[in-house]
Chains A and B, each alone.
Chain A
């Protein structure tokens, strides 16, 4: 304790480690832990077999597959597309760049229901995009993927952008003078620096997609076993006054999401350590 205090006091601008940590724990406690533990406590009113039946019923299992699968796929697409968008915004000057830059944030600000209704209208069979496509998007699992991609994009762009800005173009030139081709420069020089930021962006987009309700619900079609997302099943349970059942599914989602985020954080630490090598 003495030692850690001595170590931390040297660099800290905040009024002391104890106070700052105390505040952090209190704040996180009230804002995050208390509401979450309420969910856990409500779940605890169920017996173990009832809990297990609820969270492993076929419809619920199907919804996990859709929610986690579509969220993962959407976050993955956003990592690729988001890197490209960030690259263009950082490396090139073109007329309207600031407008494009601001556009990226729109999915943050738009009420998700508005996004959902707009996407559904666009991708429905009689919509602008839907009428051109040979396959159905609205009211299928593909629609869920589209909505989750839409809401996840800014997370990747906004985490990668500052890192790209810090990355000096001289580094690329140096790589080129040392004989690296374009692919090697990207793979060996740029990507390692960006990996932690890309992972953070991925984690944020993924986590956001897991909990997304408003935009998905309009485009999904909500067919049991096919296009029902897990948050909808939670709402469905609430609609039947089954509070314990709702929180049981929520608890499973929370634990799964927490484990995945922890794993991504671990991966990120590993990537950083590797880069620092």
Chain B
């Protein structure tokens, strides 16, 4: 292996290598994986294109973002079990906490790293009813009337349904004289009116919209709007209850993965782009409530004012809510087993 710098073949190879390096430095091909939950499919399809254009203009690099969608809990489990997600954008903070807790892939303070609890858009839980609202459903209290059939997914398996359940429970807590005992009683009555529990939010939308089961669907705000778009405004009405819960679907970079793959800078920029006016505009168009005031003002018609309470103020955060309400033997289980 004597060096022979004068060999023409060597020089050729060196030249080729340098040229390749130069091209490489000019434009890198980067692939990111965004692991998300079900209803964000359309949002991120658009957003990824916008970000790729933005990143190309800024750095010259070509970035392709792959998306993976499914139930929020299932997606978190895939990441825990080794799916290499550069970023996760899930339905609730608890699922991301678990990724940090169980697989140690994240810093424990991940939710403080981006503005607004790392939630670039928010949503809420509202009602979708049959056209003309024949059962006159206006508020959470109407859901427990006899003869009203309510469709929701199972809170034990669906992140979205957990928001819906907590919205109902929170409403009952906030009634005059409301307390935990009364709120438990209220959700027990509510779930006595539920004839079908699908495992995911999309499943219950199908049950309500296509199978014609039930009078009211508890739905993500964006899913309700999508259903109207999908199945026609002549079939359903959206009903906004006066109060509901502020759902904050958070996003974060997965530290261990981006450090290993060397994608931290671009992954970080990807999430930050969600906070820019362009990102906010896309979120709003896909019926997620933007946090940017100017964008929100533009879409004020789409998002009526609802008094929104947070999970922190009423339930002491996700970890506590999960333990009290959705763990085995928790309040939700008691609704079904203690009769």
Given known pairs A238-B77, A241-B98, the reply for A58 and B337 (CB within 8 Å) is yes
Given known pairs A139-B213, A236-B157, A240-B326, the reply for A222 and B198 (CB within 8 Å) is yes
Q: Is B98 within 8 A of A121, CB to CB?
A: no
Q: In the assembled complex, how far is the CB of residue B170 from the closest CB belonging to chain A, in whole angstroms?
A: 21
Q: Give the total of B residues in contact with A, Cβ under 8 Å.
A: 28
Question: With the chains together, A59 CA to B194 CA distance in Å?
Answer: 17
Q: Does A267 contact B (CB under 8 A)?
A: no
**Which residue of the partner chain A has the closest CB to B157?**
A239
The number of inter-chain residue pairs (CB within 8 angstroms) is 72
Q: Does B195 contact A (CB under 8 A)?
A: yes
Q: Is B156 within 8 A of A236, CB to CB?
A: yes
Residue B197 contacts which of A120, A121, A222, A238 (CB distance < 8 angstroms)? A222
Q: Does B180 contact A (CB under 8 A)?
A: no
Q: In the assembled complex, how far is the CB of residue A82 from the closest CB belonging to chain B, in whole angstroms?
A: 30
B199 contacts across to A, CB distance below 8 A = 217, 222, 232, 235
Question: With the chains together, A273 CA to B338 CA distance in Å?
Answer: 51
Question: With the chains together, A242 CA to B329 CA distance in Å?
Answer: 13
Q: Is A223 within 8 A of B196, CB to CB?
A: yes
Q: Does B58 contact A (CB under 8 A)?
A: no
Q: Is B157 within 8 A of A235, CB to CB?
A: yes
B80 contacts across to A, CB distance below 8 A = 241
Candidate in B71, B73, B156 with the most chain A CB atoms within 10 angstroms: B156
Q: Is B328 within 8 A of A222, CB to CB?
A: no
Q: Is A59 within 8 A of B102, CB to CB?
A: no
B259 contacts across to A, CB distance below 8 A = none
Q: Is B77 within 8 A of A240, CB to CB?
A: no
**Which residue of the partner chain A has the closest CB to B159?**
A239
**Which residue of the partner chain B has the closest CB to A54?**
B328
Q: Is A236 within 8 A of B210, CB to CB?
A: no
A232 contacts across to B, CB distance below 8 A = 199
Q: Is B195 within 8 A of A221, CB to CB?
A: yes
Contacts A223-B197, A236-B156 supplied; 17 other A-B pairs, CB < 8 Å: A54-B328, A57-B328, A58-B337, A59-B337, A124-B212, A125-B211, A217-B199, A218-B203, A221-B197, A222-B196, A223-B195, A223-B196, A224-B337, A232-B199, A240-B156, A241-B102, A242-B328
**Residues of B near any A CB (own CB < 8 A):** 71, 73-74, 77, 80, 98, 102, 154, 156-157, 194-199, 203, 210-213, 326-329, 333, 336-337
